[in-house]
Amino acid sequence: MWDHIKNRGDHGAENWALDWLGFLPGKRESRRYVGDHIITQNDVAAGGPFEDIIAYGGWTMDDHHPAGFRHPGAPTIWHPAPSPWGIPYRSVYSRTVENLFCAGRNISASHAALSSSRVMKTCALLGQAVGTAAAIAAREGLTPRGVYEERLAELQQALMEDDCWLPGRVRAVSPLTRQAALRASAGDPEPLRNGVDRITNGVDNGWLGVPGSSWVEYRFAEPQRVRGLRLVFDSDLSRDTAEHRMRSNYSLNDAPVAVSPVITRAYRVDVQGADGQWRTLLSELDNHQRLVRYEVDVVARALQFVPEATWGAPAAHVFAWDVIG
């Protein structure tokens, strides 16, 4: 490949040098485990609506000819796949080795199905799912299969709480969030507690506020002790994929990668105490994150979230705001 880049095409690499080379090629099917479920091409084509979904793929199924560069015909046969399609938990642990997880390019999948699941971002989701399942297994003294049998709902909820989207699933919001009266200065705030933390199928699932003048409020029938807050801001995940692909190289004079303009940069949360007085509970001036959590300990009659600035967008777009008792 280096010979091709340097000598067999106009790649602009005349002044490039090879600085580092991995000592072992990472073939995508060098290892493949058999789990309690083997994902097939039919599963992928059907969208994988598994009850034990823990991640998702979205890449097409691409079947590369084994002869590679030496194949005289088309190098790839493309089989369409829906985006997204669900990946089941039963395919990320071994059927026969009871304490063995697998994540990445070795999950329990057929050759065709693996050609869709083996891409880097899907592998990252699988890593998060397996890491979370391993933590539950270690805490509860369970095998990987035991997590499926006894703690599947907890695993899925933990992933969604950590802002991992599971297509077809709705995150369970806290009881305190559900019970409170919710109102805003303008716009419908109900999507903030619908358990879907991104735009899906054309549905916005968020609340828009004008920085500096809008607010959204949870009010309780009686003063409540609040111990946590969870916020999910829009990070522009729905933008065209061509705009946010990871680049393979950067020139010395390239502009630095900036925070997405739609992220809410500055905001505050005000609390009305049992005495009826308002005060600022917390204030953030330089937020870069999509998912933000706070541990608090306050008795409140009401809480208000007030966006104060974005990283450039005209409106603050918030997908979720949970209050946790």
Domain co-membership, 32 together with 155: yes
Statement to judge: residues 47 and 179 lie in one domain: no
Q: Among residues 168, 32, 166, which one has the least CA distance to residue 112?
A: 32
73 and 179 within one domain: no
**Is 22 a member of any domain?**
no
Q: First CA to last CA across the chain, in angstroms?
A: 57
Note whether 205 and 194 are within 8 A (CB). Answer: yes
| Per-residue model confidence (pLDDT) at position 69 | 75
CA dist 306 and 190 (Å) reads 16
Q: Are residues 284 and 199 in the same domain?
A: yes
Q: What confidence score (pLDDT) does residue 254 get?
A: 82
pLDDT of 237 reads 86
Contacts of 186 (CB under 8 A, 6+ apart): 209, 210, 214
Residue 247 forms part of a structural domain: no
What six digits make up the tokens of 10?
């106009």
Determine the Cα angle at 250 with ends 249 and 254, to 5°.
160
Residue 249 counted as domain residue: no
- The tens place of each residue's pLDDT in the chain, 325 residues long, gives 888 888 887 888 888 888 888 776 666 777 779 999 999 999 999 999 999 999 999 999 998 888 877 889 888 889 999 999 999 999 999 999 999 999 988 999 999 999 999 998 999 999 999 999 999 999 999 999 999 999 999 999 999 999 999 999 999 999 999 999 999 999 999 999 999 999 998 999 999 999 999 999 999 999 999 999 999 999 998 776 655 566 777 778 888 778 889 999 999 999 999 999 999 999 999 999 999 999 999 999 999 999 999 999 999 999 999 999 9
Q: Are residues 185 and 70 in the same domain?
A: no
Q: Is residue 11 in some structural domain?
A: no
Q: Is residue 166 part of a domain?
A: no
**296 and 189 share a domain?**
yes
Both 152 and 62 in a single domain? yes
Tokens for 105, please give them.
């390019």
Contact (CB, 8 A) for 134 and 100:
no
Q: Total domain count for the chain?
A: 2
Do 295 and 203 lie in one domain? The reply is yes
Question: At which of 161, 188, 222 does a domain end?
Answer: 161
CATH number, domain of 287, equals 2.60.120.260
Domain limits at 53?
A: 28-161
Residues in contact with 213: Cβ distance below 8 Å, sequence separation at least 6, in sequence order: 185
Q: From CA 82, how far away is CA 80, in angstroms rounded?
A: 7
Confirm whether 47 is domain-assigned: yes
User: What is the maximum span of the chain, computed from C-alpha positions, in angstroms?
Assistant: 80
pLDDT at 61: 94
Residues 65 and 108 in one domain: yes
Cα-trace Rg, the chain: 24
Last residue of a domain, one of 135, 161, 187: 161
Q: Determine, yes or no, domain membership for 121.
A: yes
Same domain for 37 and 152, yes or no, is: yes
Give yes or no: residues 144 and 182 share one domain.
Answer: no
Give the pLDDT score at 227: 98
Same domain flag for 124 and 156: yes
Final residue in a domain of this structure, among 132, 161, 190: 161
Establish if 51 belongs to a structural domain. yes
